[in-house]
Amino acid sequence: MNMIEFGRDILNRQSFSRLLGAELLAFEPGRAELRLPLRDDLKQQHGFAHGGLIAYLADNALTFAGGSALGGEAVVSQEMKINYIRPGIGAALIARAETLSTGTSQAVVRCDVFALADDGSEKLCAAAQGTIVRLAKG
């Protein structure tokens, strides 16, 4: 199983990601890209993508990027921060995360979330930063 298949297998075992319809577009050491088509049942009262949906996508992209750098799936997000920049409107959201630093047990990662219009253009929708840590062994 190559790396992108490994990542898609993890994503597929996240029932929440299946419910929302997230897709893993890229997965390399220290880097991950997720795509989420914007369905009608993912919105808030103004018709935009719910902020919590954008936070989910950022959190997951941060975790995939950090996990790929730390090596393995036994990782979780320890903390993250997100600035919402533009309403999430369009065909899909794209989250691109990249690791800034990787230690033995944690990675610091940044993520940009873009709103993808029907014509294929992208606009920055949110910017996130967080810490991904290896799960302590039980």
Which residues make up the interface to a second copy (CB under 8 A)? 10, 13-19, 40-46, 50-53, 55-57, 59-60, 63, 73-74, 76-86, 100-101, 108, 110, 124, 127, 129, 131, 135
* CB closer to a second copy, 29 vs 78: 78
Least spacing, CB of residue 12 vs a second copy, in Å:
9
E strand intervals along 2-116 = 23-28, 31-37, 75-84, 92-102, 106-116
Least spacing, CB of residue 38 vs a second copy, in Å:
11
Quote the CA–CA distance of 82 and 55 in Å, as a whole number: 7
* CB closer to a second copy, 25 vs 55: 55
* CB closer to a second copy, 18 vs 29: 18
Nearest to 63 by CA among 138, 10, 137: 10
* CB closer to a second copy, 41 vs 119: 41
Asked if 95 and 57 touch (Cβ cutoff 8 Å), the reply is: yes
What torsion, rounded to 10 degrees, do the Cα atoms 61, 38, 81, 77 define?
A: -40
